[in-house]
Structure 1
Amino acid sequence: MPRGYVIATIQITDASRYDKYRALASEAIAAHRGRVLVRGGHNEVMEGSAPGRTVVIEFDSLEQARRFYSSLEYTKARAAREGAADLNWFVVQGIDD
C-alpha cells in the first residue's frame, strides 16, 4: 500500500503562538504514528520561490494522513495555530514500493 504524505508550506506570522501549535502538533503526529521527514530547515530556491517553512510528514497510508488531519488531537493544534501562520496544507499519495 502506498504511503501518505502531509505537505505544508508555512509563513509564520506570530512565532510565540506558532511554538504552542508546534508542541501540540508534535503530540498529534506521534499519536497517529506519523514520521516527520522535513520540519523547517534550510531551503534553497532552484526555481520560483520558496515558502518560509516546509513540513513533510509520512504516514503508512493516505487514509491515515487524512485521519490525522481530522483527529481531535490535531484539531486542537489547528485551533492553537489560528492567527500564528498562513499556510498551504495538502496530502499526497506516495508511489508503491
Structure 2
Amino acid sequence: MAKGYWVVHLEVTDADTYGMYREFVLPFLAASGGRFVISGGEQSVVEGSVRPRMVVVEFPSLADARRVYHSAEYQHGMQERLASSSADFAIVEGLED
C-alpha cells in the first residue's frame, strides 16, 4: 500500500502564534500515525520559487493522511497555523512499496 504525505510550503508571519500551533501539532501527529520527514531545515531552491519553509509528514496510507487532515481535532488545531502563516498544502500519494 502506498503511503500518504502532507507536503507543505509555508511562510511564518507570526512566530509566537505558530509556536502554539507546533505545540499542538507535534503530539497530535505522533498520536495520529504521522511522522515528520522534513520540518524546516536548509533548502536550496534550484528552479522556480517556494516559500521559505518546507514540511513533509508521512502517514501509513493516503487515506490516513486525508483522515487526519479532515479530522475535527486537526481542523480546530490548525486555526493557529492559518492565523500565523501562509501556505501551499497538498496531500499526496506516495509510490507503492
Write the deviation string for residues 37-93 of structure 1: whole angstroms up to 9, x where unpaired.
Answer: 000110001111231100000001000000110123312321222320011111110
TM-score, scaled to structure 1: 0.93
Q: Which residue of structure 1 aligns with residue 33 of structure 2?
A: 33
What's the secondary structure of 1:50's corresponding residue?
Answer: coil
Q: Do the aligned partners of 1:24 and 1:76 also contact (CA within 8 Å) in 2? A: no
Give the number of aligned pairs. 97
Instruction: Give the alignment's TM-score, normalised by structure 2.
Output: 0.93
Q: Which consecutive unaligned segments of at least 5 residues does structure 1 have? A: none
- 8 Å Cα contact 1:44-1:50 kept in structure 2: no
Off by >4 Å, runs of 4+ in structure 1: none
SS at match of 2:17: helix
Moved more, 56-65 or 73-82: 73-82
Matches within 5 A, 1:1-97: 1-97=1-97
Query: What residue ranges of structure 2 are gaps of 5+ in the alignment?
Result: none
Identity %: 38
Please, which moves more after superposition, 32-41 or 65-74?
65-74
